[in-house]
Chain A
Amino acid sequence: MKTVRDLHVSFLLSAVLALLSLCAARAEDATSQYKFSDPAKPGILKIRIGRGDLVVRAGDGQAIAIHSDSEPREQAVGADGLRVLTEASGYSFAEKNNVATFECGIANPGKSSDCQITVPRSTAVVVNNVWGGDITCSGISGDLDIRSLNGEVRLDDISGGALVESTNGGIRATIREVHEGRPISFTSVNGTVSIRVPVDAKANVRLRTQNGEIKTDFDEKALVTKVELAQPYAARRAHTSSGDGADSDVNGRSPEEDARLAAKEARREAELEADQAKREAREAQREALALLKEDAAESGGRVAIPPIPPLPTMTGGKTVTGTLNGGGPEIQAMTVNGDVILRKAADQKK
């Protein structure tokens, strides 16, 4: 015979089960769907995310699907007839004339909200990650413009233009196609920049690092480069001068005199190097333009514009400019602290 206590326990269990089912159902329905005003035309999606990881994938449909830890911010009218404008949690979405704006966690950076967004393939995506989090974009053929303060940026299988600025975090990109008029430019302050391109991709490359190395697995025939190094004489002497605590060198000079002499020599050498660099840059530009004219005359068609001579690295750093498979649209990668790596796309690697 069941007691009253047994009935109460059963009731509570049923209630809990029902509640769990309801939550599960609601989780599955957390994806919100939106559309551009004119789905037939490429749209622009502008994303501002406070803190959290963001994944943007290309989809074959025409809808924008948003899945987030946060809930859509509903500005419902309360009993007092007022709407709360300064709601801290949740995300907001607005769209007008094929320009969509998505904001999540801006007002409350302490709360992390991860977001997964699916967009039409040709959508141009603009991302501003205000506080931190990893950003991943895959399969997009529209232009990408990404700014990240803290976190890794990963671009997979992209085929449009791409501008990425990262302050603390590396950048990894796999490029499916490069197109004329759609430059690719990655900059990072602290982080390695690694780019994979198809083995037959044609591009003008400009790679620079202040305190790192520049590496590639393309051979010298495919990737024709010119390397610019500048290590001031004073720095070289500083590296080679002894650290054994001696007060004077074998010539009887004090370290201070040595430093003054080194600085003087550095100035003279730097002046000569700068003049030489300027002359070479002008000469390279003249030669390149002359070659361009010859090629245009021979081929009768469009010829890639040769790379612009780089700024001389007067105060340190390494710059590599050149052409990949004859040249084409710009691929640039620059970092202060980190390496720059240009590699063949994995599935075409020989």
Chain B
Amino acid sequence: MNCAQICEHLPEFIDDRLAAGTAAEIRRHLAGCQACRHEYETLSATLQALDAQPEAEPSPRLRENLLASIEEEKRALRAGLRRPAGQPSRMRPWIWRTCLQGLAACVLLAFGFLAGVRRASAPAQPAADSTARQLAELNSRVDSMGRLVSYTLLQQQKSSANDRLEGVLTSATLQRPTENVIDNLVSTLVLDPSVNCRLNAVEALYAHADSDVVRTAIRVSLPREQSPLVQLAMIDFLAAVRDRDAAPAFQKLSASALADPSVRVAAGRALTQL
């Protein structure tokens, strides 16, 4: 036997688990081989040290823990949810997700339906609000115009035509007249007994021809105006602003036998320009 074979048999030699002839041969080799003898001595010392360690005593709860694990395994088997220990469950998130998805879809559908219904009915409310606002504004304006008419008539009794004309001329020079000033000019146009004042009111209002109130006032006053001079000015005003709503008034004037001939001609020309 060579040294390698001798080293393979050493653990069994130490344990005395070899046949007599093999053991004798290993003795004769160890007596003559120092390397093998060193290997034999090292291995014998290691085995003796291991044998000298105290035996580890098991935990007193080992038995209990072991039995509890066994019982849990048994329970799992009985519930049909036996799974290998340590592997997470996949069934519960899927169902939850599916339920959530379905719920979300229902919610979205409902939301969409409600939103559509709301949108369909939404325009009515702003229009109703807008109409109510306009009515309130008109009421307020009628009230204020009524007060303005009273005030204007009172002023006409108190002040001379010269003063009223001066007031109109002053109003016409204002760069940014207030609504009150424009209302005063309109009331002068409608109510003042002086032709000179009414004529200058038309001239002064031309700067505010963009206002619906002003154009309407001119248009409404035209049929009831008696002075041909003021009528001509009103016709020029409405023709200049291309007020097509004035066409019926122009037509009537151009055909009226009572109107001044110059007014009839002017009304006819204004019609062609509309």
Do chains A and B stick together as partners?
A: yes
Describe B's contact surface by its main secondary structure: helix
Whole-angstrom distance between the Cβ of B161 and the nearest chain A Cβ: 5
Q: How many angstroms from the CA of A234 to the CA of B265 in the assembled complex?
A: 12
Question: B249 at the A/B interface (Cβ < 8 Å)?
Answer: no
Q: How many angstroms from the CA of A136 to the CA of B122 in the assembled complex?
A: 72
Among candidates A181, A267, A314, residue contacting B240 with C-beta atoms closer than 8 Å: A314
Are B162 and A183 in contact, with the CB atoms below 8 A? yes
Given contacts A143-B160, A187-B229, A189-B228, contact A278 B240 (CB under 8 A): yes
Given contacts A266-B272, A336-B262, contact A308 B203 (CB under 8 A): yes
Which residues of chain A are within 8 angstroms of B260 by Cβ–Cβ distance? 189, 336
Question: A271 at the A/B interface (Cβ < 8 Å)?
Answer: yes
Question: B172 at the A/B interface (Cβ < 8 Å)?
Answer: yes
Are A232 and B162 in contact, with the CB atoms below 8 A? no
Q: How many angstroms from the CA of A311 to the CA of B199 in the assembled complex?
A: 11
Are B196 and A315 in contact, with the CB atoms below 8 A? no
Are A187 and B232 in contact, with the CB atoms below 8 A? no
Given contacts A308-B203, A316-B266, A334-B199, contact A274 B272 (CB under 8 A): no
B-contact 0/1 string along A267-302, CB 8 Å cutoff = 100110010011001000100010000000000000
Question: A210 at the A/B interface (Cβ < 8 Å)?
Answer: yes
Which residues of chain B are within 8 angstroms of A124 by Cβ–Cβ distance? 160, 162
Are A336 and B204 in contact, with the CB atoms below 8 A? no
Question: A126 at the A/B interface (Cβ < 8 Å)?
Answer: yes
Which residues of chain B are within 8 angstroms of A314 by Cβ–Cβ distance? 235-236, 239-240, 269-270, 273
Which residues of chain A are within 8 angstroms of B203 by Cβ–Cβ distance? 308, 310-311
Which residues of chain B are within 8 angstroms of A211 by Cβ–Cβ distance? 262
Given contacts A232-B273, A312-B240, A336-B232, contact A183 B169 (CB under 8 A): yes
Q: How many angstroms from the CA of A332 to the CA of B272 in the assembled complex?
A: 30
Q: How many angstroms from the CA of A219 to the CA of B229 in the assembled complex?
A: 28
Are B196 and A165 in contact, with the CB atoms below 8 A? yes
Are A315 and B172 in contact, with the CB atoms below 8 A? no
Whole-angstrom distance between the Cβ of B263 and the nearest chain A Cβ: 8
Q: How many residues of A contact B (CB 8 A)?
A: 47
Are B266 and A315 in contact, with the CB atoms below 8 A? yes
Question: A103 at the A/B interface (Cβ < 8 Å)?
Answer: no
Are A165 and B194 in contact, with the CB atoms below 8 A? yes
Which residues of chain B are within 8 angstroms of A310 by Cβ–Cβ distance? 203
Question: A235 at the A/B interface (Cβ < 8 Å)?
Answer: yes
B-contact 0/1 string along A306-350, CB 8 Å cutoff = 001011111111000000000000101011110000000000000
Q: How many angstroms from the CA of A310 to the CA of B205 in the assembled complex?
A: 11
Question: A185 at the A/B interface (Cβ < 8 Å)?
Answer: yes
Q: How many angstroms from the CA of A322 to the CA of B259 in the assembled complex?
A: 31
B-contact 0/1 string along A175-191, CB 8 Å cutoff = 00000011101010100
Whole-angstrom distance between the Cβ of B34 and the nearest chain A Cβ: 127
Interface centre among B162, B169, B200 (most CB of A within 10 A): B162
Within 8 A of A (CB), among B136-170: 160-162, 165-166, 169
Are B232 and A317 in contact, with the CB atoms below 8 A? yes
Which residues of chain A are within 8 angstroms of B194 by Cβ–Cβ distance? 145, 163, 165
Are A183 and B166 in contact, with the CB atoms below 8 A? yes
Which residues of chain A are within 8 angstroms of B5 by Cβ–Cβ distance? none
Question: B30 at the A/B interface (Cβ < 8 Å)?
Answer: no
Q: How many angstroms from the CA of A126 to the CA of B160 in the assembled complex?
A: 9
Interface centre among A183, A308, A315 (most CB of B within 10 A): A315
Among candidates A263, A281, A285, A315, residue contacting B232 with C-beta atoms closer than 8 Å: A315
Question: A149 at the A/B interface (Cβ < 8 Å)?
Answer: no
Are B195 and A165 in contact, with the CB atoms below 8 A? yes
Among candidates A182, A187, A274, A289, residue contacting B162 with C-beta atoms closer than 8 Å: A182
Which residues of chain B are within 8 angstroms of A50 by Cβ–Cβ distance? none
Q: Which residues of B contact A (CB under 8 A)?
A: 160-162, 165-166, 169, 172-173, 175, 194-196, 199-200, 202-204, 206-207, 227-229, 232-233, 235-237, 239-242, 260, 262, 265-267, 269-270, 272-273
Listed A/B pairs (12) with beta-carbon separation below 8 Å: A145-B194, A163-B161, A163-B162, A182-B162, A232-B272, A235-B269, A266-B272, A267-B273, A270-B239, A315-B235, A316-B262, A336-B229
Instruction: List 10 extra interface pairs beyond A187-B229, A334-B199, CB under 8 A.
Output: A145-B162, A163-B196, A165-B196, A187-B227, A310-B203, A311-B233, A312-B236, A315-B267, A315-B270, A332-B196
Sorted nearest first, the 4 A-B pairs with minimum C-beta distance are A315-B266, A314-B239, A185-B196, A161-B162
